């Protein structure tokens, strides 16, 4: 028909849908560092509430130690974990408690059928126990049924850490805590942390789990005020959100920092880990004083542990160093060129790297080719030239870096820490010289103890990296594998199963080769470190073997003395009876005796020498022989005859002027 389209309605619809649309704008989004770590909090050790509580304590304690040590101040660290009940937490955030209206709505609701089933099960158990008791069988103690905690019923804790460190500048506090990946630890040096992430992650976790801000109090030397700051973090913009930032009066002239954060946690599960961490930290830092408290509404749950200072000798402050040429990559070379103040290539190589002097720098430049000269401006180097420099630095031969930039605990402190916390029967320590892996210097220190308090039988492994205890992922660690598989303990007179053996290994380096994102263990695949760990443990075992052998000899001497003393009465009686019979011999037979023998027989016959006299003389002889053997043993052991007494050096007043002459084994102190 005229005037009517041949297209069907469907076809018309299809035709309409083919109309060109305006292209959408780009949907690319950018995440802030704070947002990234909030979504991947396991990278920083915040896997679950319990681990988060442990990591928060650990990060705050280590920041406090770094702060005090940076100004050569003997650290005093107080850490308090306060349990916060549901009602108190709700009042802190301004939420009113509300009774449940629809109980069946909640995850921990128990239906009538489930309740009957549970009660029937408990009744059967009680009946069985009654029968066993009637038959005289051993009855197991019944425990109260566990009340299921709903998914929404979290546990909250207020963590407070107070120290006597150098404090923080007033204006820098917001950025130091409220901006992720901003810190003071980016130089090439031995540090406990690397990115200053720990305290910020505690703030992020607090914001995620409680929504409450963090509170910081700080006062620096020669400051007459206390900086107080209450803040949280804008996750999406990675900037601090400051609630209050003010200066307060400092009447007590306090110096240091105090950080307080409220987070979700799990004390019950991680109690042992946190206390174990504090104990190990007291071992590796015996010059620090720690006071740990756990405060709960139930007094029987309260914990208070004080780890006293036992020395005032601190390790030297680690120094920042320059990069070793064999350890750099192309990006690092570009960054060094962008930041250097040197103009030409010769000066750049000579001053931006270790172990490159002027003559060696000239040889390297000559090897690079005709496009390079000593006066080539470093800012004008092309990408191809930078690749050539990188290739040569990777292939050339350089001296190993020295370990002067490292700060190990030292044998003195390591030995003192082990004795202070474990009270072993014997201990040996060893500190190796600086070695190198991938251009980074490292030092391995080790200690091996036998016996002690609160030490279980077998191997007890204590691992430290840059003077930080490592508690997790122990099985794959180089120290654990070395101690279990590469040390033949029996050859050192040590029973690996029955003896209480403590193995302490501390590794310090400008770069610790951690495996995994948690930074909790050092891999077993780096030959240099594995060999150094094995050698350090072996050297400790060699020292212990000589002590154990001498101890065995002394024990054998005591056993020999005991056996001899046991037979003194019988031997004296037998000798006296023989002498008595000899006095009754005819005079003709006595002629063949010498004058001394005749005199002896005369004294016996006149009762001047009795059986008791012989016992006394024989006992003195045994005692004299044992004393001489013990004296010889003591002389070989390097021990004087005087009894020894354990003496600990107490902290000194600031006005005392002293000079410390340190050796690996002791510290000689001169008072001026």
Binding-site residues for ATP sit at: 63, 163, 184-185, 193-200, 519
Helix axes of 611-637 and 568-583: crossing angle, nearest 10 degrees: 140
DSSP structure class, residue 301: G
Which residues are bridge partners to 226 per DSSP?
248
Q: Do strands 76-84 and 289-295 pair parallel, antiparallel, or not at all (unpaired)?
A: parallel
Please say whether the beta carbons of 433 and 401 come within 8 A. Answer: no
Q: Coil, helix or strand for 66? A: helix
154: Cα within 13 Å, side-chain hemisphere: 17
Q: Coil, helix or strand for 150? A: coil
Identify the CA nearest to 460 among candidates 507, 415, 501.
501
Q: What is the DSSP string of 571-628?
A: HHHHHHHHHHHHHTS-HHHHTTS-HHHHHHHHHHHTTSS-HHHHHHHHHHHHHHHHHH
Q: Which residues belong to the annotated binding site?
A: 63, 163, 184-185, 193-200, 519
Identify the CA nearest to 60 among candidates 143, 175, 158.
158
Sign of the Cα pseudo-torsion (637, 642, 646, 647, in order): negative
DSSP structure class, residue 262: E
Please say whether the beta carbons of 595 and 634 come within 8 A. Answer: no
Please say whether the beta carbons of 295 and 372 come within 8 A. Answer: no
Count the residues in the chain.
672
Residues 6+ apart with CB under 8 A from 384: none
* Token pair recorded at residue 464: 């430290």
Q: CA gyration radius for the chain?
A: 37
Angle at 518 between CA 513 and CA 523, to 5 degrees: 35
Identify the CA nearest to 261 among candidates 63, 114, 424.
63
> Measured over all CA atoms, what is the biggest interatomic distance in the chain, rounded to whole angstroms?
174
Class of residue 184 by CB neighbours under 10 A (exposed 0-12, middle 13-18, buried 19+): exposed
Q: What is the DSSP string of 199-258?
A: HHHHHHHHHHHT-PPEEEEEE-TT-SEEEEEEEEEETTTTEEEEEEEEEEE-TT---EEE
Class of residue 465 by CB neighbours under 10 A (exposed 0-12, middle 13-18, buried 19+): buried
d(CA 496, CA 442): 29
């Amino acid at each position: 028909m005229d005037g009517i389209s041949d297209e069907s309605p469907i076809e018309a619809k299809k035709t309409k849908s083919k109309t060109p649309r305006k292209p959408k704008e780009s949907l690319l989004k950018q995440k802030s560092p704070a947002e990234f770590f909030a979504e991947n909090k396991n990278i920083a050790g915040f896997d679950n509430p319990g681990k988060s509580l442990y990591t928060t304590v650990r990060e705050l304690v280590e920041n406090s130690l770094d702060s005090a040590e940076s100004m050569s101040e003997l650290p005093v660290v107080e850490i308090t974990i306060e349990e916060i009940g549901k009602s108190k937490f709700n009042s802190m955030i301004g939420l009113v408690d509300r009774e449940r209206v629809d109980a069946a709505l909640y995850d921990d609701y128990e239906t009538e059928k489930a309740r009957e089933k549970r009660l029937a099960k408990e009744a059967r158990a009680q009946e069985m126990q009654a029968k066993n008791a009637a038959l005289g069988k051993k009855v197991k103690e019944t425990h109260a049924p566990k009340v299921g905690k709903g998914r929404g019923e979290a546990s909250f804790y207020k963590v407070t850490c107070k120290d006597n460190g150098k404090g923080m500048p007033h204006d820098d506090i917001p950025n130091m805590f409220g901006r992720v990946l901003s810190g003071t630890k980016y130089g090439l040096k031995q540090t406990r942390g690397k990115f200053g992430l720990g305290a910020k992650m505690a703030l992020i976790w607090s914001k995620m789990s409680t929504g409450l801000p963090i509170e910081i109090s700080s006062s620096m030397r020669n400051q007459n005020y206390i900086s107080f700051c209450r803040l949280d973090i804008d996750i999406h913009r990675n900037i601090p959100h400051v609630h209050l930032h003010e200066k307060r009066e400092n009447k007590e002239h306090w110096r240091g920092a105090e950080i307080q954060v409220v987070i979700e946690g799990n004390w019950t599960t991680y109690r042992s880990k946190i206390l174990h961490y504090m104990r190990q930290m007291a071992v590796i830092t015996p010059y620090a004083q720690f006071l740990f408290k756990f405060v709960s509404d139930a007094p029987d749950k309260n914990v208070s542990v004080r780890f006293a200072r036992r020395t005032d000798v601190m390790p030297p402050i680690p120094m920042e160093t320059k990069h070793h040429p064999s350890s750099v990559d192309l990006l690092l070379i570009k960054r060094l060129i962008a930041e250097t103040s040197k103009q030409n290539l010769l000066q750049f190589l000579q001053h931006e790297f270790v172990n490159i002097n002027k003559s060696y720098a000239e040889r390297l430049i000559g090897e690079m080719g005709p496009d390079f000269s000593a006066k080539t401006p470093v800012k004008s180097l092309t990408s191809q030239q930078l690749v050539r420099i990188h290739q040569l630095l990777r292939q050339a031969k350089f001296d190993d870096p020295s370990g002067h930039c490292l700060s190990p605990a030292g044998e003195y402190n390591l030995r003192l820490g082990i004795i202070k916390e474990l009270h072993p029967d014997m201990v040996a320590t060893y500190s190796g010289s600086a070695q190198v892996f991938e251009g980074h210097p490292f030092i391995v220190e080790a200690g091996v103890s036998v016996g002690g308090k609160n030490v279980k039988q077998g191997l007890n492994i204590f691992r430290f990296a840059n003077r930080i205890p490592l508690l997790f992922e122990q099985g794959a660690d180089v120290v654990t594998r070395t101690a279990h598989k590469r040390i033949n303990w029996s050859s050192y007179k040590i029973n690996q199963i029955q003896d209480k053996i403590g193995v302490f290994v501390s590794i310090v380096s400008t770069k610790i080769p951690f495996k995994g994102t948690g930074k909790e263990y050092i891999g077993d695949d780096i030959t240099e470190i594995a060999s150094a760990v094995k050698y350090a443990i072996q050297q400790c075992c060699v020292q212990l073997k000589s002590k154990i052998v001498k101890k065995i000899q002394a024990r054998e001497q005591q056993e020999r003395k005991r056996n001899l003393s046991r037979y003194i009465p019988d031997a004296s009686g037998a000798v006296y009876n023989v002498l008595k019979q000899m006095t009754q011999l005819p005079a003709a037979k006595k002629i063949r005796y010498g004058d001394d023998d005749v005199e002896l027989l005369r004294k016996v016959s006149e009762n001047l020498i009795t059986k008791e006299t012989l016992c006394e003389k024989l006992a003195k002889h045994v005692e004299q022989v044992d004393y001489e053997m013990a004296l010889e043993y003591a002389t070989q052991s390097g021990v004087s005859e005087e009894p020894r007494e354990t003496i600990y050096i107490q902290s000194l007043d600031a006005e005392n002027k002293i000079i410390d002459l340190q050796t690996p084994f002791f510290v000689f102190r001169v008072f001026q």
